[in-house]
Chain A
Amino acid sequence: DIQMTQSPPSLSASLGDKVTITCQASQNINKYIAWYQQKPGKAPRLLIRYTSTLESGTPSRFSGSGSGRDYSFSISNVESEDIASYYCLQYDNLYTFGAGTKLELK
């Protein structure tokens, strides 16, 4: 089974900051990673697929990169609507989610 190590577990940012979340897979996942945003009481929302492809409707301040085992997700110019939890998902071999990162306002 593939393990996904996501960090940090929580993040405090000011409006306008740039924040970065990382996910490290236990083996090469061939760029098959997606990133989700989840707000309290809501279902996850797909933001990015295949490492860096933005879903329709995802603002351009969101971005993803990486290869092999190491991947990152960034939000530039954090806005108040970005306050949420974020999860990575590997889908190279079945599915494994990262443990999540809770983004809060400083």
Chain B
Amino acid sequence: EVQLVESGGGLVQPGRSLKLSCAASGFTFSNYYMAWVRQAPKKGLEWVATISTSGSRTYYPDSVKGRFTISRDNAKSSLYLQMNSLKSEDTATYYCARPLNHYFDYWGQGVMVTVSS
């Protein structure tokens, strides 16, 4: 059974950093691109980052480019999201998701990040 379990969320002050983790199991992690998607409270979904199987290619929307960094450790079947220079508008539930033929087929349960002073 595919499982994606996020961790590392919490309350952080504006301008500070936070690193999220996602532990994957139930599939061969190294064979799949991986992604992060977020959802602000009572708002819609927003794609945040995607990483290739080897980690050599990464993709971001303009809203987080230069501030967020996606990475992975295939030996640990783990995905990460380093978030720097956090803003109040980054407050959201962050989901780890697996792209299959590009669309997201499996999602984690999400982890909450609150950016506030």
B101-115: which have CB < 8 Å to A? Answer: 101-105, 107-110
Taking A94-B59, A94-B61 as contacts, is the C-beta distance between A46 and B104 under 8 angstroms? yes
Instruction: Identify the stretch in B7-15, B22-30, B39-47, B73-81 within 8 Å (CB) of chain A at 4 or more residues.
Output: B39-47
**Per-residue interface assignment for chain B, residues 85 to 117, with 1 indicating a CB less than 8 Å from any chain A CB and 0 otherwise:** 000000000010001011111011110000000
Q: Does the CB pair B47–A96 fall under 8 Å?
A: yes
**Per-residue interface assignment for chain B, residues 52 to 63, with 1 indicating a CB less than 8 Å from any chain A CB and 0 otherwise:** 000000010110
Q: Compute the total of residue contacts between A and B using a CB distance below 8 Å.
A: 52
Tally of chain A residues near chain B (CB < 8 A)? 23
Q: Is A100 an interface residue (CB 8 A)?
A: yes
Q: Is A83 an interface residue (CB 8 A)?
A: no
Tally of chain B residues near chain A (CB < 8 A)? 21
Q: In the complex the two chains form, what is the Cα distance from A100 to B105 in whole Å?
A: 18
Q: Does the CB pair B47–A97 fall under 8 Å?
A: yes
Taking A34-B103, A89-B103, A91-B103 as contacts, is the C-beta distance between A43 and B46 under 8 angstroms? no
Q: Which of B45, B50, B101 contacts A44 (CB 8 A)?
A: B45
Q: Is A73 an interface residue (CB 8 A)?
A: no
Query: Chain B residues near A95 (CB, 8 Å)?
Result: 35, 37, 47, 50
Taking A96-B47, A97-B45, A99-B44 as contacts, is the C-beta distance between A43 and B110 under 8 angstroms? yes
Known: A34-B103, A44-B107, A95-B50. 15 other contacts (CB 8 A): A36-B45, A43-B95, A43-B107, A44-B104, A49-B105, A55-B105, A87-B44, A89-B103, A91-B102, A94-B59, A95-B35, A95-B37, A97-B47, A98-B44, A99-B44
Q: Interface on B for A, CB 8 Å cutoff?
A: 35, 37, 44-47, 50, 59, 61-62, 95, 99, 101-105, 107-110
